[in-house]
Amino acid sequence: MKIRSFIISLTVYPVILFLPVTRDQSAFAQSDPQACLACHKDQAGIMQTKHGIQSDSSSPAGSGKACSACHGENPAHAKSPAENPHPVRFGKGTVSALAQTQACMSCHAGNRHLAFWESGPARTE
């Protein structure tokens, strides 16, 4: 019995170890800023800010959410971007100022440097 178990372990465990790891590629892409930057090259500057610090778990890049931390998730976006935009896009006329502000405040609420957020260009009225 021990020999049989030993033989099974020699054949089964190595096979399990070398099985390809399957990941939902759309979920992977949303957690990898480089996947986003493959199309959005003009947005690469964000990676030079505090938002792009991968060693900081409180930053979008370090949180494992990357771009989707601010833009929201849309698994179909990578396959068909025009038909499947992310829920939050930044800039005038893309989505409401309220939605844009809520995306920022989901992390920055309570930040004393943003105490007057609502009175500046980010106001929601």
Q: Retrieve residue 40's tokens.
A: 């959005």
Q: Encode pLDDT of 49-94 as tens digits.
A: 989 998 999 889 888 888 999 999 888 998 898 899 989 998 888 8
Express as a percent the part of the chain with pLDDT over 70.
65
Q: Classify burial at 67, counting beta carbons within 10 Å of its beta carbon; exposed 0-12, middle 13-18, buried 19 or more.
A: buried
14/124: higher pLDDT: 124
The domain segmentation of the chain, as residue ranges, is 23-86, 88-125
